[in-house]
Amino acid sequence: MRATCHFLLPMSSITVSHLVKQFANPESGESKRAVNDISFTLGEHEFLVLVGPSGCGKTTTLRMLAGLEPVSSGEIFFGEKRVNETRPKERNVAMVFQDYAVFPHMTVYENIAYGLRSRGAPAAMIKERVPKAAQIFRIEHLLQRKPRQLSGGERQRVALSRAMVRDADLYLYDEPLANLDAQLRYQAREDIMALHKEKQKPSVYVTHDQSEAMAMGDRIAVMNGGRIEQIGSGAELYERPNSLFVAYFIGTPSINLFDVEILAEDQALFAVSTAFRLRLADSHLDALRPYSGKRIKMGLRPEDLHVPRLATFLVSPENQIQGVVNVVEPSSTGCAVYLSTLDETSRDYVATLRTRMPATYLGKEVPLAANMAKAHYFDPATEKSILVAI
Ligand SMILES: Nc1ncnc2c1ncn2[C@@H]1O[C@H](COP(=O)(O)OP(=O)(O)OP(=O)(O)O)[C@@H](O)[C@H]1O
Ligand SMILES: [Mg+2]
């Protein structure tokens, strides 16, 4: 496949093809695939965010890109050049490590200067860039300190400054903001994005925080068990998740999942449970008809449940769910309401409303209207989306 497209690839794009990393377990001797056949192309100015649960292979992927971990199989290309056997230093990659790996015996200044110095950068460049990077990450007053005299968040900013001070061909960030408080985190995020705009180089950024992923990534790759489940823009992953896993992982609060049976009645289909009977949107009928009479999982995002009189679509008994209000959490845009269904399953679900709900609603029964055109459906056996062709 590469032979056909290879002259179209810009010099500084990155291609990962069927990458696998197998680790041998020292105790059992068995080997395990930490990264299991992942492929993607990173545009020359692209900022890709990798998200996924602990142990899904994010750090291992970054380490293979940096050349710190030999690949078991598959290929990595920087532009046209296959770099599988290229040593880390020759790849010209800047990486911020998850444990921020700063040198304890060096001052903050020397730590930041390290990458430049070890590549023979001229003294004048070091003198100009180190204080500038330190200033961006607000550690300019700490330049003469040693890392043990710093907080975890400050050390993390030293590691960020050290990576960002360089002119690399690829920037890799492994959860670089995990130790920062909310405000610093927000600032550092802005600073990274500003520097990325300036440098215009491909970047891969790992985070656990899906709202950070949505805010920063041109595209987001959701990893699970060593594989990439889906890669796309934040909006694509949110609106058209191809699996139950992606649907659940992207969006806060998480999507509400209900076990339903699909029942046909005349030309219509209904998603039926002991708690509700919801008419499927016309746009979903073709995809769902083969599931008529079967049990599947239906997902409704908290944002797609509305106070009936404020809904922008036609409300009827065929798109309402009755529930009892357990908790109301005010937010800047309205509130999150935690409810449970009225049937014996007492299934918990959550709605995020663009209005305040007075505390008098606590313990009361309320109907909410579901925007069925935005519903998601998953095959219970494969956990793949029924709506998104893969
Ligand atoms: N050197 C190693 N030897 C054996 N197994 C390893 C090694 N490094 C990582 N693993 C295993 O590979 C899997 C992926 O690890 P990795 O560090 O890439 O996960 P991660 O997605 O970065 O997780 P986290 O979010 O916790 O940082 C894990 O099961 C881990 O235990
Ligand atoms: Mg990791």
Q: How far is the CA of 38 from the centre of ligand 1 (A)?
A: 15
pLDDT of residue 186: 87
Q: How far is the CA of 373 from the centre of ligand 2 (A)?
A: 37
- CA dist 210 to 52, 104, 185, 218, 296, Å? 9, 32, 14, 13, 26
Cα gap 230→243, rounded to integer Å: 8
Task: Please list the pLDDT of the chain residue by residue as tens digits (390 residues).
Answer: 444 444 455 567 999 999 999 998 877 778 889 999 999 999 999 999 999 999 999 999 999 999 999 999 999 999 999 999 999 989 999 998 877 788 999 999 999 999 899 889 999 999 999 999 999 889 999 999 999 999 888 888 899 899 889 899 999 999 988 878 888 888 889 889 988 998 899 999 999 888 889 999 899 999 999 999 999 999 999 999 999 999 999 999 999 999 999 999 999 999 999 999 999 999 999 999 999 999 999 999 999 999 999 999 999 999 999 999 999 999 988 999 999 999 999 999 999 999 988 889 999 999 999 999 999 999 999 999 999 875
Q: How far is the CA of 204 from the centre of ligand 1 (A)?
A: 17
pLDDT of residue 300: 98
Atom of ligand 1 nearest to the CA of 26: 4
Atom of ligand 1 nearest to the CA of 53: 25
Q: Is 2-248 a domain of CATH 3.40.50.300?
A: yes
pLDDT of residue 3: 41
Query: Three-state secondary structure along the chain?
Result: CHHHHHHHCCCCCEEEEEEEEEEECCCCCCEEEEEEEEEEEECCCCEEEEECCCCCCHHHHHHHHHCCCCCCEEEEEECCEECCCCCHHHHCEEEECCCCCCCCCCCHHHHHHHHHHHCCCCHHHHHHHHHHHHHHCCCHHHCCCCHHHCCHHHHHHHHHHHHHCCCCCEEEEECCCCCCCHHHHHHHHHHHHHHHHHHCCCEEEECCCHHHHHHHCCEEEEEECCEEEEEECHHHHHHCCCEHHHHHHCCCCCCEEEEEEEEEECCEEEEECCCCEEECCHHHHHHHHHHCCCEEEEEECHHHEECHHHCCCCCCHHHEEEEEEEEEEECCCCEEEEEEECCCCCCEEEEEECCCCCHHHCCCEEEEEECHHHCEEECCCCCEECCCCC
Which residue owns the Cα nearest ligand 1 atom 31? 55
> By C-alpha distance, which of 177, 228, 211 is closest to 39?
228
Atom of ligand 1 nearest to the CA of 208: 25
- Asked whether 273 lines ligand 1 (CB < 6 A), one says no
Cα gap 188→136, rounded to integer Å: 8
Ligand nearest to the CA of 35: 1
Domain residue ranges of the chain, discontinuous segments joined by +: 2-248, 255-306+318-378
The residues, any chain, with a CB within 8 Å of residue 210's CB and separated by 6 or more, are 51, 249, 250, 251, 252
Which residue owns the Cα nearest ligand 1 atom 1? 23
pLDDT of residue 31: 87
pLDDT of residue 6: 44
Which residue owns the Cα nearest ligand 1 atom 4? 23
Q: What tokens does 335 get?
A: 């509130």
Q: What tokens does 139 get?
A: 């550690």
Which residue owns the Cα nearest ligand 1 atom 2? 23
